Each structure stands twice: as C-alpha cells, then as structure tokens.
Amino acid sequence: MQEYSYERPLVSAIFNGLGRQKRLLHIITGPRQVGKTTAALQIAAKWKGPVIHASADLPLPPEPEWVRSHWDRAEAEAGRARNEKREALLILDEVQKVNGWSEVVKASWDKTCRDHLPIQVIILGSSSLLIQKGLSESLAGRFFLYRCPHWTFPEMEQAFSWDLEQWIFFGGYPGAAPFIDQEDLWSRYVTDSLVETVLAKDVLQLQTVSKPALLRHLFMLSAVHPAQILSYNKMLGQLQDAGNTTTLAHYLKLLETAYLISGLDLFKGGMQRKRGSSPKLIIWNNGLINALTGDSLTASRGNYSWWGRLIENAVGAHLLNHLGGIPYSVYYWRHKNLEVDFVVKTPKRLWGIEVKSGNPKNPKGISGFLGMYPEARTLIVGSEGMPVETFFRTDPRDLF
C-alpha cells in the first residue's frame, strides 16, 4: 500500500482499547486496501513493548500451526518484557486464510489469560463472512470488533486534499490516490491490484465457487449498473452460463462478504423478501465503478444522469460502510410506480431516504412511503434537503 502519514480515528480507538482493564482480543475487519495493516503498524509504532507482526496472506492457506508459532514468539517476548513491566503486542494479519484459525486463537488466548501472560493481540481480516463465522463459533465474549470501512470524503480531503467530486469519482482507496492525475494508470491499478486481488484471494480462494467466470461477470455487470434495481431474470439474460437465480443470489452475497457489492432487498412490512424481489445494486466504493467503465472524471461529470447515479451509489455505499452490525438494516422501497432510494431500519426508527442528485424520479415516492408507513421519518439528500457534501461529512450513525 502507498505510504501516507494520515492517521485514521481507528488507530486511537484501538490503542486506547488496548489499555482497558479487561483484556480482549482486538479484531479489525474491513475491505482490502483501506489501511487495516497501516493502522496496526501505526499502533505498533506507539507501542512501548516488543511487537510481533505476521501476515497469513500467503500463496497457500497456512495451517493452524502458523498461529501457534507466532503466539509462541509473543510468549517468549512477553516473558522477557515482564521484568520491565511491559506487554508484548501480537499482530496477526489476514487471519481468515488460516485453516481453523478461530479454534487455535481461542486455545492460545485462553492459555494466555489463564497464565496471566502480558500479551495484547490484534487480529486483522478482509472477509467478513469468515471472520464473523470464526468469532461466533469459537470466540464469543473474548473480543472487541472494530470495523475499518472505505475512506470517507473528509478523510481523503484531509489526507490528499481531494474535493467532493474527486471522492465521488475515485472513491476511498488511499493507495490509489497518487495515480489520479493519470486516470488510465489509476484505472489499471484499481482493477489489477485491488479487484483481481480481492476476487482471487478473498472470494475464489476461500469460498466454494463452482463457476468462477460467472462470479467475475456478475461483478462486472453489477459495477456498471450502480444504484440500479436489476432483476435476477434480467441478469440471467445478460450473463453466459448463469445457471439460475439462486446461484446469482449466492454469488452476490459472496461479493458482499468481500465488501465489493451488495444487493439491497426490497423493504416490505419490515421484512426482507429474500426471494422474488429484485436487488438494488450498491457498489461499496465508487472507485470500483469508474475503474471498470473507463470514463474520465470530466466525461462523467458532464453526463448529468450518470453523475446522479454515482452520487446515489455513493450515498448507499456511505450507509453500508458505516451502518454495519445488528442495529441497522438498509433496504430500498418500491410500490407500483413509487420508489424511495433507501430505507434504514433500526430497532426504534424507520427512515426513508431520497437522493435528489439529478436523476428524474417520481416526486411522490416519499409521500407514498409515508402513506404506507406513517411512523417513518424521512431525509432528502441533495436539493431541497441536506446538502450532498454535508451528508458525506456526517457519520450515518449520528443521523439514524
């Protein structure tokens, strides 16, 4: 990853967490190339004791002994540091690639706690499915989870002096920032270094995918239809060897676990309709869209309808990146010819969100939504509502 001096708020949050009286495993999960490793190394630079850093991002998935061997190193360092009243810091990167990682981490951590060894542990992972599976199966009550999302507009502004239009077009990948003055190089970097790496290492290598070519084609099809509702039957018509709608829905979920693309479900009576409803495709980082389409920032900005689509997708991605976890669910709503761009549901609130970014829409969508869900609150992003820039400068958790 490109070096940069900016320190994300995540760094201080984790560093402070390491000093809590109750010792826990500190788990960092999020997309590739958003600075998880950089954040861990920035924490390590502040650490007063010995640091052991190892990455499982190897050509072949390591066996559980990989975890045990590095843990043994941490125990040895902790033993030497104990007399100086210092703690060792163990950082395990891309741990989801280790077969049975959660079981060996559980056994090692329990031994560390039982023996009162002065060791703190940070674990990083890029596959939400495999990380969450390991946490729920073996590590309940032993960890604190930190989500490391794509970079926000204020972060890219502060770190690289970007304006809002640059962030909407190039997205939140700090490693790609040095290439934006040569857009063809930027596009090649994103497609080759980011997209291909994520598909190969975080999806195809770690999941059972019977039709890898289909998964790649589904990703490309979705990326060029940002913020659009696309039926599975229409996808079947545009993809070769597509199989059936169940296969497409499964592959779309796999792409979501790698923080690439989500297919939002239709909101209906507070429940998801897993079958029968067409997904609304949201790409988690606008950089993925524009790297694949090949259009320039100038051309995209001049295409009024397409630019509006990019803004709407960026709004959806902003919601997905920051409303993770059980309290929040993100949908879209449509009834006959009425539509609301996004619906956010919390245990106590229901929100309808309309993005007025230039795309011609039925202006009665919000009123129709309120007619069916009078208890809902509404938010308009864009003209006649919250300015687009204000929305992107705001943490959605503070809004909803």
Q: Which of 127-141, 204-218, 248-262, 385-399 has the lowest mean pLDDT?
A: 127-141
The per-residue pLDDT of the chain, averaged, comes to 90
What is the average pLDDT across 18-25? 89
Which of the listed CATH numbers 3.60.40.10, 3.40.50.300, 3.90.1150.10, 3.30.1120.10 matches domain 9-147? 3.40.50.300
Q: At residue 202, does pLDDT exceed 80?
A: no
Q: Which residues pair with 343 in a beta bridge?
A: 331, 352
Q: Give the DSSP letter of residue 380.
A: E
In this prediction, residue 15 has a pLDDT band, given cuts at 50, 70 and 90, of very high
The structure tokens listed for 221 are 């099809």
Give the Å distances, CA to CA, from 360 to 154, 250, 256, 370.
Answer: 29, 32, 28, 20
- Residue 212: how many other CB atoms lie within 10 Å: 14
CA distance linking residue 199 with residue 189, whole number of Å: 15
CA distance linking residue 391 with residue 371, whole number of Å: 26
Q: At residue 273, does pLDDT exceed 60?
A: no
Instruction: Report helix, strand or coil for 332.
Output: strand
CA distance linking residue 235 with residue 177, whole number of Å: 33
Q: At residue 245, does pLDDT exceed 80?
A: yes
Q: Can you spell out the DSSP letters for 16-27?
A: HHTTSSS--EEE
Model pTM? 0.91
CA distance linking residue 80 with residue 85, whole number of Å: 10
CA distance linking residue 57 with residue 378, whole number of Å: 44
pLDDT of residue 374: 95
Contact 282, 296 (CB under 8 A): no
pLDDT of residue 274: 45
Burial 53-86 (b: 16+ CB within 10 A, else e): ebebbeeebbebebbeebbeebbebbeebeeeeb
pLDDT of residue 2: 45
Q: Which of 74-78, 204-208, 304-308, 365-369 has the lowest mean pLDDT?
A: 204-208
Contact 262, 285 (CB under 8 A): no
Instruction: Return the percentage of the chain with pLDDT > 70, whole number.
Output: 94
Q: At residue 129, does pLDDT exceed 60?
A: yes
CA distance linking residue 204 with residue 372, whole number of Å: 42
338, amino acid identity: L
What is the average pLDDT across 29-45? 93
Domain coordinates in residue numbering, the chain:
9-147, 155-399
